Amino acid sequence: MPFAIIKRFCVGLATLLACASSCHALTHLTGNLIVEAQRLENFSRVVFGEGSNNYVAPTPVEWAQFRALAQSLWTGDTNAAATQATALGYELFTFTDTNWNAFLYGVRSQETNGSPVKGWGTYLVNPGSAVPALIEAPHPQWDFRTPLLAAEIFLKSGARGLLIAGAHRHVNGDSTGDPCDLTNTIFHAVHEQWSGPAATNLAWQVHGFNPANHPGFPVGTLAVLSTGKDGDNFFSTNLVHLDQRLEWNGIKSYAYAKNLATNAPLNLLVNEGVDGQTFTNLGARSNVQGDFCHAAGGDFLHIEMATFTRTNVLMRSLVADAIACAVLLSRTNAADELTPFALAQPAWENGQLRFQVPTERHRAYRVELATNLTDAPWQPVRALPGNGQSLSVTNSLPAGEKVFLRVVNEDSPPPDN
What is the three-state SS of 76-105? CCHHHHHHHHHHCCEEEEEEEECCCCEEEE
Mean pLDDT of 378-389: 88
For residue 208, is pLDDT > 80? Answer: yes
Domains assigned to the chain: 25-329 (3.40.630), 344-409 (2.60.40)
**What is the maximum alpha-carbon separation in the chain?**
97
The pLDDT score that the predictor gives to residue 15 is 38
pLDDT in tens, 212-233: 999 999 999 999 999 988 765 5
The pLDDT score that the predictor gives to residue 232 is 59
CA-to-CA distance for 221 and 42, rounded, in angstroms? 28
The pLDDT score that the predictor gives to residue 12 is 42
For residue 354, is pLDDT > 60? Answer: yes
The pLDDT score that the predictor gives to residue 342 is 64
Mean pLDDT of 311-335: 89
The pLDDT score that the predictor gives to residue 415 is 43
| pLDDT-above-90 percentage for the chain | 70
| pLDDT-above-70 percentage for the chain | 86
CA-to-CA distance for 220 and 236, rounded, in angstroms? 24
- CA count, 13 A, side-chain hemisphere, 36: 23
Mean predicted lDDT score pLDDT of the chain: 88
Give residues with Cβ within 8 angstroms of 197, minimum separation 6: 296
CA-to-CA distance for 407 and 341, rounded, in angstroms? 9
CA-to-CA distance for 79 and 92, rounded, in angstroms? 9
For residue 252, is pLDDT > 50? Answer: yes
For residue 204, is pLDDT > 90? Answer: yes
